[in-house]
Amino acid sequence: MDDSRRRLLWHGMFLFFLGLVTGFVETKFSNPRMGLAAHLEGVMNGTFLVALGAIWADVKLSPKWKTAAFWCALYGTYVNWATTCLAAILGTAALSPITGAGHSGQPWEEKLVTLGFTSVGLVIVAASLSVLRGLRRVAA
């Protein structure tokens, strides 16, 4: 089994596990609704990584692009979960009008969470586009 494929599967299961554990403590966060979102982010992003690992052999990219897609996927999934946890802990509402309703953090906390969510959005879109391109290509 390709090492990067196996690593995606491992990280997927680990992130899934982190999402499950987050579910046990979601009511302890400053914003329990955001805690629930963090639980779901861990579970869903873990599942995404497992699915990506399952198709990884079919992603036909140059080694450089495949490495970039791998690390972008890991960054996007872990930082998405971590930023959502941070938002739940701090009680921020940055970029989360529904789960953050009625909550507000310090300006620096809001900026930190905004930076996290913005970076995740950009990186996970880049990873997705790379994988989509790699699934369209035929092996040389």
Name the pTM for this structure: 0.90
pLDDT in tens, 34-88: 999 999 999 999 999 999 999 999 999 999 999 999 999 999 999 999 999 999 9
Alpha helices in the chain (DSSP H): 3-25, 32-55, 63-90, 107-136
1: which DSSP letter? -
Is pLDDT at 103 greater than 70 in this prediction? no
Closest by CA to 122, choosing from 75, 86, 82, 55, is: 75
**Residue 94: its pLDDT value, please?**
74
**Tokens read off for 42:** 């861990």
103 compared with 113, residue with greater pLDDT: 113
137 confidence band (pLDDT: 50, 70, 90): low
Q: Region 118-139: what's the mean pLDDT?
A: 92
Summarize pLDDT for 12-48 with one digit per residue, the tens: 999 999 999 999 999 999 999 999 999 999 999 999 9
Whether 94 and 105 have beta carbons less than 8 Å apart is answered as yes
